[in-house]
Structure 1
């Protein structure tokens, strides 16, 4: 009789454990990146009353007679299925569509999470807003290239973009073939030096023969209007290759063979601190120009170089690549978020704050770039919500409650039987 009571106790305890799992699922129904759990039971030892016997002669065998000693918690399994994605409209909120976990670190240990609530900290690091753990990935080099085979590091958002000196100016448009010798056409372009200083360069085309135009730089000044070069001779000693010839074929196309471009236009920026910027050297490219019988439209097509800038925003694409937007109008690749996958993600050990750590049964993390090697895509402006099915959890709660009640009834009934046995001796 004591067996039935202890079996009931074990059943009540197991159902209490299951209720703990169900209640935790329900409490996290709105937790970003939460993965639900499921409790299962297993039988405990069975007491052998009589062993099995084999058939003998004309008599059949008998099955073993065993009485179970109750139940216990068998497993708590994680449901690693995809949760629904909720749009937030915030570019720094990331969701993973498919397999993988974000890799985060506190500087001592590495953890994994599906929660993509990201922000920038005081030092410019990309961090998980919930935990403050730094998001790990690969930093881009000075050219914006990313080596996803390199070591992971905490991603920093490049706060400042240094200035880049102008090195190439491409001209396009048309010079009128009907222009008389000596007719002129004036253009200008803006260039930058190594400190980001702006310089306006005036350039004039003068027709000197059929299909031939001379060009000359007539004036250079900085953004304050201070003259750095003038055709009259100002600072002429510091300026090189200010003149040349542009030739055209009979069909109006550029004639490289008969053009005379002596070399890069070079000038020294004039600063009060006496030459803090390096000399500017610009390759003037006229190969996109034409000479046809139509109006003058010759002008610069493209000018590289830019002033220094400060980060104003950053975005993520589907591969987790981070692009910074700067107040100088430029965009630059900053880095790329890494994802981790596991042979057995259900074997990961849960920690607080919706994080997981490696366990003996999860397998080692396999690091890769999003949208590659079976890893999911990154969806910016969305968060992955909890994958808990609330209606199913309420059903589980009801059946768990009834199971607990049934086991408690087993104990009370066993107690009544024991009471009857006691009452036999009066």
Structure 2
């Protein structure tokens, strides 16, 4: 079989993968907090027809002769650059300006947090019990709770942000006697109750986290990510501190897909697919010529 046939097949297969990624990017152009992916190619091993030789007394050196055997996908990289913001005016719609991820999760029967997921999607709601939850899947928004002393003074327990194992759901009705609670969320993630007389009482703090290598995160669907062996562990903290961005209430982050780039990539990928198809058909014609020589 001709080497060119195998090269053309590898080109078709991998350009199809690139087209799949481009198509998914375009499909998610209006998906909240979606991060675009880019496909990069590499050549695969080459067959050596003759090796190199060093210069000798009466002759110069000779370079090696190699024939490539096609190409493969080098990597599919996620671009975690921040997307455009969309103002909604809704208090529970949150956007991180800068690096960081919201932390969400479910609770077990003992009220402890199960597996923590990470997301940039800030479409949160308040459920019937007063918990701030994801509007996509109902996972609790996690962060630090509050403690109340005997005099009724409340203090945010920021030590809850020391580990993912001590995170707590944020509940705006925890200290309410009933009725709707008017609350606000500040840039540092603090959630505060605003009473009729203007008194402000803390209700908790939205925690955020960052990773040393966010490109190593795994997508799990529903705009969620989980850590991988190459992302590093989550570094949790207060919004606006260290490497963490601040939180804006009343806005959400949209997709960072650049349609002009995706359409350009689509055309280039299509041409690459067509060129590799031509390699296969031309190689097939050569094989037919060889077969016909026997007739």
TM-score normalised by length of structure 1: 0.64
- Whether the aligned pair in 1 keeps the contact of 2:131 and 2:173 (CA below 8 Å) is no
1:107-153: per-residue Cα shift (whole Å, max 9, x none)? 32111000000111222211111111111000122223113223311
1:359-405: per-residue Cα shift (whole Å, max 9, x none)? 00000000001011121010111110001101100000000000000
More strand by share: 1
Q: Does residue 1:357 correspond to 2:243, yes or no?
A: no
Q: Secondary structure at the match of 1:106?
A: strand
1:291-337: per-residue Cα shift (whole Å, max 9, x none)? xxxxxxxxxxxxxxxxxx64333221111111123567654210100
**Counterpart mapping for 1:331-370 below 5 A:** 331-370=200-239
* Higher Rg: 1
Q: Does residue 1:15 correspond to 2:15, yes or no?
A: yes
**Counterpart mapping for 1:183-262 below 5 A:** none
Which residue is 1:158 aligned to?
173
Q: Secondary structure at the match of 1:61?
A: coil
Following the alignment from structure 1 to structure 2, what is the Cα–Cα distance between the partners of residues 333 and 310?
18
- Whether the aligned pair in 2 keeps the contact of 1:160 and 1:311 (CA below 8 Å) is no
* Among candidates 229, 239, 251, match of residue 382 of structure 1: 251
- Whether the aligned pair in 2 keeps the contact of 1:323 and 1:332 (CA below 8 Å) is yes
**Counterpart mapping for 1:95-114 below 5 A:** 95-107=95-107, 108-114=114-120
Q: Secondary structure at the match of 1:311?
A: coil
* Among candidates 123, 126, 130, match of residue 124 of structure 1: 130
- Whether the aligned pair in 2 keeps the contact of 1:311 and 1:327 (CA below 8 Å) is no
Q: Does residue 1:133 correspond to 2:139, yes or no?
A: yes
Following the alignment from structure 1 to structure 2, what is the Cα–Cα distance between the partners of residues 414 and 144?
77
Q: Does residue 1:149 correspond to 2:159, yes or no?
A: yes
Q: Secondary structure at the match of 1:312?
A: coil
Following the alignment from structure 2 to structure 1, what is the Cα–Cα distance between the partners of residues 285 and 125?
63
1:15-73: per-residue Cα shift (whole Å, max 9, x none)? 00001111111111111111110001111111111111111112011111111110111
Give me the CA root mean square deviation. 1.5
Following the alignment from structure 1 to structure 2, what is the Cα–Cα distance between the partners of residues 19 and 161?
53
- Whether the aligned pair in 2 keeps the contact of 1:85 and 1:384 (CA below 8 Å) is yes
- Whether the aligned pair in 1 keeps the contact of 2:173 and 2:181 (CA below 8 Å) is no
Q: Secondary structure at the match of 2:147?
A: coil
Which residue is 2:56 aligned to?
56
Following the alignment from structure 2 to structure 1, what is the Cα–Cα distance between the partners of residues 115 and 175?
30
Following the alignment from structure 1 to structure 2, what is the Cα–Cα distance between the partners of residues 329 and 99?
33
- Whether the aligned pair in 2 keeps the contact of 1:42 and 1:74 (CA below 8 Å) is yes
Which residue is 1:398 aligned to?
267
Q: Does residue 1:6 correspond to 2:6, yes or no?
A: yes
Q: Secondary structure at the match of 2:95?
A: strand
Which residue is 1:419 aligned to?
288
Q: Secondary structure at the match of 1:59?
A: coil
Q: Secondary structure at the match of 1:141?
A: strand
Comparing 388-397 with 118-127, which one deviates more in the overlay?
118-127
Following the alignment from structure 2 to structure 1, what is the Cα–Cα distance between the partners of residues 100 and 154?
25
- Whether the aligned pair in 2 keeps the contact of 1:161 and 1:326 (CA below 8 Å) is no
Point out where structure 2 has 5 or more consecutive residues left out of the alignment.
Answer: 108-113, 161-165
- Whether the aligned pair in 2 keeps the contact of 1:103 and 1:136 (CA below 8 Å) is yes
The number of residues matched between the two structures is 280
Following the alignment from structure 1 to structure 2, what is the Cα–Cα distance between the partners of residues 329 and 341?
34
What displacement does 1:409 show?
A: 0.3
